[in-house]
A and B are shown apart, each in its own frame.
Chain A
Amino acid sequence: MDTPVVHRRHFLIGAAGVAVASTVPGMGGLAFAQEAIGTQAPTTPLPDYASWKKPEAMIVHTELTLETRRPFIGTSSVVPSNILFVRNNLEPPDSAIVADADAWEVAFEGVAQPRTMTVRELKQLGIATVPTVLQCSGNGRGLFDHEASGSPWLTGAAGCVVWSGVPLRAVVDALGGVAEGARFVTNTGGEVIPEGIDANEVLVERSVPIENVDTIILAWEMNGEPVPLAHGGPLRVIVPGYYGVNNVKYVKRIAFTEAESEADIQQTGYRVRPVGESGAPDQPSMWQMKVKSWVTHPVVETPSGPIQIHGVAFGGINPVQRVEVSTDDGQSWQEAQLLDPDLGRYAWRSFVLPVELPSGTYSITSRATDSEGNVQEQTTEPNHRGYDYSGWDRLAVEVTVL
């Protein structure tokens, strides 16, 4: 088999440290490849609210943005909480709110009988358990060439986790139904906003189309435990199939509204537009996720002989239908096996392709197709904020088979 020529460009993007590694004598390509995909030791300590994370599994971009290193994602579908990425838009509230989680209050507005309910009361209304992919809008920002502001996430601002909570529909029914004219579900986070700033400038308040009322759950449990503060406990809105930002943490208000939130994060933030344009309400909002997959093993080097290439794939609001794997930079593809269990349309699916590769260097990547026939794109056109790089070209890994 020929050893394919691989594209190195995307390994050179991101933290300055990567480029330093490539210019320091004695450090070869392997060193910066390792750092680029996150297999080197952490250099920044974990923030207090996430001190329980596994340090060697995390890239600490800032104290509010922690990424899961690519090879730490396994094949049993669910990502353990202690390696799940964290993206907080604002400093989390005081941890006292999770110490007495059942007492947390949520105001329901835009229903026939508006009122405030505690988590304790919500637990009496119904329970659903839903595995979903949580993915930050900026996942893959570090794979774009333009240097968009924000953390240069690679693949690790995503994880599949299992939520338990009350279906929003059950709450709405208990409160007499949705008010007439409502078109959005608008959810407000409970972060404490200091004096000296107009709340709408930093408020985490996101609106999603009202059609989601039948799939949203208000979760108090994640991966079998109360939702940790770092992930939005005591109560988090889960909008299955939607980018992370819509899954509002510490939710304190749920309103059925005629218009989208007035907060900047809704009006001008999280809007997809060409590079150089300002955000505006008429641009697409970061709502439903795209079909996407990537390989999680091997990622740097592996012994020759039998190799189990594996990774994860998801389709946003649609289940994954198939995954193909290429070991020659997309010139040819082989059908991968989807692993059980199938955790449903909003979860990700692990896949595996057994191969035997002689020594050499390979560009390995994967391409997913969802149930509607949407195929993962080859490349992602630049967008101003560097949202969701989904192209299989730069999601490829350069692997040395020893």
Chain B
Amino acid sequence: MSERRLAPDSRVSANGALFISVVCGLALAAGLLQVQLQAQEPAEQDAEAALSEEEMDVARQLITSDAGPACAVCHQLAAAEATGTLGPSLDQLKPDAQTVRAALLEGPGVMPEYGDKLTMEQMELISAYVAAVAGGGQP
């Protein structure tokens, strides 16, 4: 996974760096848990718990209008009232955070690459949010 855009991006704030360290910790934990998948569900719940109400609002805002193009133009995600049908439904796909992040960075098929449109912080936020609300992390 390329993270080449992370370091030089001045848009990553100090808060962002803190957030990224938290998310990276979670990602590391998630990686370890691939060996012990029985523990995956608690990890998803941790990811959801890691998002404050304010962060979830920011994620929803990115998904529905600010991502440029907004995720909601093409994808369905009921929790964010996203109703796009051009691409796969996130509610049906239920991706984990790593899958969302990879899709944002790589732009599979005709999906745009978001590496030069969003900060790493924003992509991590979207990934954590989507995994939490569509990825099976609901309580």
Cβ of B105 and Cβ of A149 under 8 Å apart?
A: yes
Cβ of A278 and Cβ of B115 under 8 Å apart?
A: yes
B21 interfacial contact with A, CB 8 Å? no
Report the stretch among A176-184, A201-209, A224-232, A308-316 that lies at the interface. Answer: A201-209
* Shortest CB distance A195–B (Å): 8
B52 interfacial contact with A, CB 8 Å? no
> Assuming A194-B84, A384-B106, is B93 touching A23 (CB within 8 A)?
no
Cβ of A194 and Cβ of B40 under 8 Å apart?
A: no
Cβ of B69 and Cβ of A150 under 8 Å apart?
A: no
Cβ of B113 and Cβ of A278 under 8 Å apart?
A: yes
A265 to B89, CA, bound (A): 21
B25 interfacial contact with A, CB 8 Å? no
Q: Which residues of B contact A203 (CB under 8 A)?
A: 110
Cβ of A197 and Cβ of B74 under 8 Å apart?
A: yes
A385 to B92, CA, bound (A): 23
A89 to B109, CA, bound (A): 6
Q: Which residues of A contact B109 (CB under 8 A)?
A: 89, 150, 265, 269
Q: Which residues of B contact A264 (CB under 8 A)?
A: 107, 110, 112
Cβ of A147 and Cβ of B38 under 8 Å apart?
A: no
Number of B interface residues, CB 8 Å? 35
Number of A interface residues, CB 8 Å? 38
> Assuming A44-B92, A62-B93, A147-B102, is B115 touching A202 (CB within 8 A)?
no
A16 to B35, CA, bound (A): 11
Cβ of B69 and Cβ of A201 under 8 Å apart?
A: yes
A265 to B37, CA, bound (A): 36
Cβ of A196 and Cβ of B110 under 8 Å apart?
A: no
A210 interfacial contact with B, CB 8 Å? no
> Assuming A16-B37, A62-B88, is B110 touching A385 (CB within 8 A)?
no
The one of A151, A202, A265, A269 that contacts B86, using a Cβ cutoff of 8 Å: A202
Q: Which residues of B contact A198 (CB under 8 A)?
A: 69
List residues 200-246 of chain A with CB under 8 A from any CB of chain B.
201-204
The one of A20, A63, A201 that contacts B92, using a Cβ cutoff of 8 Å: A63
B51 interfacial contact with A, CB 8 Å? no
A175 interfacial contact with B, CB 8 Å? no
B10 interfacial contact with A, CB 8 Å? no
A91 interfacial contact with B, CB 8 Å? yes
> Assuming A62-B93, A89-B110, A149-B105, is B37 touching A20 (CB within 8 A)?
yes
B139 interfacial contact with A, CB 8 Å? no
Cβ of B69 and Cβ of A91 under 8 Å apart?
A: no
A268 to B106, CA, bound (A): 10
List residues 140-171 of chain A with CB under 8 A from any CB of chain B.
147-151
| Chain A residue at smallest Cβ distance from B88 | A62
List residues 70-100 of chain A with CB under 8 A from any CB of chain B.
89-91
A230 to B85, CA, bound (A): 15
The one of A20, A90, A278 that contacts B87, using a Cβ cutoff of 8 Å: A90
A193 interfacial contact with B, CB 8 Å? yes
Cβ of B86 and Cβ of A193 under 8 Å apart?
A: yes
Q: Which residues of B contact A64 (CB under 8 A)?
A: 87-88
A279 to B112, CA, bound (A): 11
B103 interfacial contact with A, CB 8 Å? yes
Q: Which residues of B contact A202 (CB under 8 A)?
A: 74, 86, 110-112
A276 interfacial contact with B, CB 8 Å? yes
Cβ of B37 and Cβ of A147 under 8 Å apart?
A: no
A356 to B67, CA, bound (A): 59
B8 interfacial contact with A, CB 8 Å? no
A19 interfacial contact with B, CB 8 Å? yes
Q: Which residues of A contact B112 (CB under 8 A)?
A: 201-202, 264
| Chain B residue at smallest Cβ distance from A197 | B69
Interface hub of B70, B74, B107 (most chain A Cβ within 10 A) = B107
| Chain A residue at smallest Cβ distance from B3 | A276
> Assuming A62-B92, A194-B86, is B37 touching A19 (CB within 8 A)?
yes
A385 to B37, CA, bound (A): 26
Cβ of A269 and Cβ of B110 under 8 Å apart?
A: yes
A244 to B87, CA, bound (A): 18
| Chain B residue at smallest Cβ distance from A21 | B37
| Chain A residue at smallest Cβ distance from B34 | A19
Q: Which residues of A contact B111 (CB under 8 A)?
A: 202
| Chain A residue at smallest Cβ distance from B65 | A196
Extra A-B contacts (8), CB below 8 Å, given A191-B86, A269-B107: A16-B96, A63-B92, A64-B88, A149-B103, A197-B69, A201-B69, A202-B110, A269-B110
A-B contact pairs, 24 of them (CB 8 A): A16-B96, A19-B37, A23-B37, A23-B38, A62-B89, A62-B92, A65-B88, A90-B87, A91-B86, A147-B102, A148-B106, A149-B105, A150-B106, A151-B108, A191-B86, A194-B84, A194-B86, A198-B69, A203-B110, A204-B110, A269-B109, A278-B2, A278-B113, A278-B115
Spell out A's residues near B (CB within 8 Å).
Answer: 16, 19-20, 23, 44, 62-65, 89-91, 147-151, 191, 193-198, 201-204, 264-265, 268-269, 276-279, 384-385
Kindly list the 4 A-B residue pairs having the minimum CB-CB distance in the complex, ordered from nearest.
A150-B108, A62-B88, A149-B102, A197-B69
